[in-house]
């Protein structure tokens, strides 16, 4: 009985340590199959993934409302690397959402007579369309942390909910709220917030029972988008006509505790991953991205970024919080803001009538099969470069005699991964 490893020869000290941990754990289980058989390492150079996938890294997804496409932007190079066509007659994509795992992209299409959602695999770009029967004016969406519920803001008196496990669609009454334009979910998925254009208020929904209650927003006119900080203690609502942002203390039923002046026509808001900064896009004039210090009491303005900003629509941070990405409707590009320098350091061309943008770290996956009738009893990967995030090493689902590894690379560092498999002869 003979076991062997398929993999690559070159390895760094950290990678060797990881490899040993993987082999130790799984050969103990494999020993029941291989008994006292020896393990012979037979390396194979350049063990390749079973299918081509995007290199691990961070990508921005831009909804091109006028072109009916989504631009895929590699944030390492700030170039459009792919364009995904959205099917249908004038689907008008307006918003994008990426799940935390980086595996699924959801595109909200404000199609007439019924809006729909494009569900896209981020590695293969395979697309499925989910029709939102009877829904119109759908312009924003948010996922719960588990990625199982997509909440969609559409015209009317309900919040639309798509179960991402089976694509079933339902609604939650807003209990008085009308025409929600923005939606956000708190970090633990227990509360959903909507900004209601038609009633100049916000709604909070308890996801345990879908009960909804109203949060009054005195001094707010035309609520648009809503963002929640990473601790779930504050929600921020942009108010387009009154040119301010409502700051909501989310404790209990939720209470507005401050109005922040923004400049004319705030559209979108995003909170930095560390929760210390709030970025708000402002149409103007002048067009700007206004940055606020959320740790100050009351919240104060840090500055306004105007150069490279022209009729901004959406803003999103990369996972590390080092860059923010802003779509510019008038100039058909996307501005890249260095969050330390607080200035636009690059622009991404090739986006057309850009509206929403979302950023996610796409996982890279590779697998190595055992030859012939041999069974997989373990495996892992040799990694060169910095330690990746979300490293998973396990038996592959298909084929069942292979070993699979996956990882994400949210900081776009140079990482090489070479999977290997430990195999045994069952006879």
CA–CA separation, 97 vs 142, rounded Å? 7
Q: Which of 310, 362, 317 is nearest to 333 (CA)?
A: 310
- Nearest 5°: phi and psi at 19? -60, -40
DSSP state for residue 186 in the 8-state scheme: -
Higher pLDDT, residue 34 or 223: 223
CA 348 to chain centre: 19
What distances in angstroms separate CA 396 from CA 8, 32, 366, 370, 420, one per listed residue? 19, 20, 10, 11, 12
pLDDT, position 3: 27
Residue 278 scores a pLDDT above 90: yes
Higher pLDDT, residue 385 or 266: 266
pLDDT, position 154: 98
Lowest model confidence (mean pLDDT) among 26-40, 151-165, 251-265, 335-349: 26-40
Residue 126 scores a pLDDT above 70: yes
Calculate mean pLDDT across residues 184-194: 98
Q: For residue 55, what pLDDT band results from cuts at 50, 70 and 90?
A: low
Higher pLDDT, residue 47 or 248: 248
CB atoms within 10 A of CB 256: 19
Residues 6+ apart with CB under 8 A from 17: none
As given in the structure block, the two tokens for residue 364 are 């890279």
CA–CA separation, 98 vs 360, rounded Å? 6
Calculate mean pLDDT across residues 61-83: 96
Residue 238 scores a pLDDT above 80: yes
CA–CA separation, 407 vs 421, rounded Å? 17
Place of tokens 């900080």: 229
Higher pLDDT, residue 21 or 263: 263
pLDDT tens digits along 9-40: 223 333 333 433 343 234 323 322 222 222 22
DSSP state for residue 33 in the 8-state scheme: H
What distances in angstroms separate CA 48 from CA 41, 51, 418, one per listed residue? 18, 8, 8
CA–CA separation, 71 vs 63, rounded Å? 7
Q: What percent of the chain has pLDDT over 90?
A: 72
Higher pLDDT, residue 304 or 43: 304
Long-range contacts of 308-312 (CB under 8 A, 24+ apart): 308/335, 308/343, 308/344, 308/347, 309/281, 309/335, 309/344, 311/283, 311/284, 311/287, 312/267, 312/268, 312/281, 312/282, 312/283, 312/287, 312/288
Q: Can you give the length of the chain in residues?
A: 427
- Nearest 5°: phi and psi at 237? -120, 125
What distances in angstroms separate CA 63 from CA 163, 194, 217, one per listed residue? 22, 21, 30
Please name every residue paired with 43 in a beta bridge, in sequence order, or none if there are none: none
pLDDT, position 387: 81
Q: Which of 394, 417, 405, 402 is nearest to 371 (CA)?
A: 402
Q: What percent of the chain has pLDDT over 70?
A: 87
pLDDT tens digits along 310-323: 999 999 999 999 99
Residue 287 scores a pLDDT above 90: yes
* Average pLDDT value for the chain: 87
CB atoms within 10 A of CB 155: 18
pLDDT tens digits along 363-378: 888 888 888 888 888 8
pLDDT, position 416: 78
Residue 97 scores a pLDDT above 70: yes
Contact predicate 218/251, CB 8 Å: no
pLDDT, position 380: 84
């Amino acid at each position: 009985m003979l076991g062997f490893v398929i993999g690559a020869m070159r390895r760094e000290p950290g990678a060797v340590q990881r490899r040993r941990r993987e082999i130790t754990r799984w050969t103990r289980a494999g020993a029941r199959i291989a008994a006292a058989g020896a393990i012979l390492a037979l390396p194979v150079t350049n063990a390749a993934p079973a299918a081509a996938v995007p290199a691990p890294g961070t990508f921005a997804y831009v909804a091109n409302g006028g072109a009916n496409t989504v631009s895929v932007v590699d944030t390492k190079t700030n170039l459009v690397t792919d364009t995904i066509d959205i099917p249908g007659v004038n689907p008008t994509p307006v918003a994008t959402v990426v799940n935390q795992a980086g595996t699924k992209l959801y595109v909200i299409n404000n199609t007439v007579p019924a809006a729909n959602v494009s569900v896209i695999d981020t590695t293969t770009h395979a697309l499925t369309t989910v029709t939102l029967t009877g829904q119109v004016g759908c312009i924003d969406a948010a996922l719960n942390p588990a990625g199982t519920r997509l909440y969609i803001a559409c015209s009317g008196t309900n919040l639309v909910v798509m179960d991402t496990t089976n694509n079933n669609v339902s609604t939650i009454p807003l209990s008085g709220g009308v025409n929600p334009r923005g939606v956000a979910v708190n970090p633990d998925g227990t509360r959903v917030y909507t900004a209601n254009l038609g009633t100049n208020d916000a709604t909070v929904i308890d996801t345990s029972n879908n009960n909804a209650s109203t949060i009054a927003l005195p001094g707010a006119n035309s609520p648009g988008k809503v963002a929640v900080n990473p601790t779930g203690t504050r929600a921020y609502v942009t108010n387009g006509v009154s040119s301010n942002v409502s700051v909501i203390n989310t404790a209990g039923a939720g209470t507005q505790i401050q109005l922040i002046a923004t400049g004319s026509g705030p559209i979108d808001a995003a909170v930095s991953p560390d929760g210390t900064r709030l970025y708000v896009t402002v149409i103007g004039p002048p067009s700007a991205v206004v940055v606020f210090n959320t740790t100050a009491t009351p919240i104060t303005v840090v500055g306004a970024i105007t150069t490279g900003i022209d009729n901004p629509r959406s803003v999103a941070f990369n996972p590390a919080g080092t860059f923010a990405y802003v779509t510019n409707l008038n100039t058909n590009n996307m501005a890249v803001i260095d969050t330390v320098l607080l200035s636009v350091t690059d622009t991404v061309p090739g986006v057309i009538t850009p509206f929403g943008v979302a950023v996610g770290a796409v996982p890279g996956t590779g697998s190595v099969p055992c030859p012939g009738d041999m069974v997989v009893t373990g495996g892992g990967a040799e990694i060169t470069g910095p330690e990746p995030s979300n490293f998973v090493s396990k038996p592959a689902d298909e084929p069942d005699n292979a070993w699979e590894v996956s990882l994400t690379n949210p900081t776009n560092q140079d990482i090489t991964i070479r999977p290997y498999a430990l195999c045994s002869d069952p006879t």
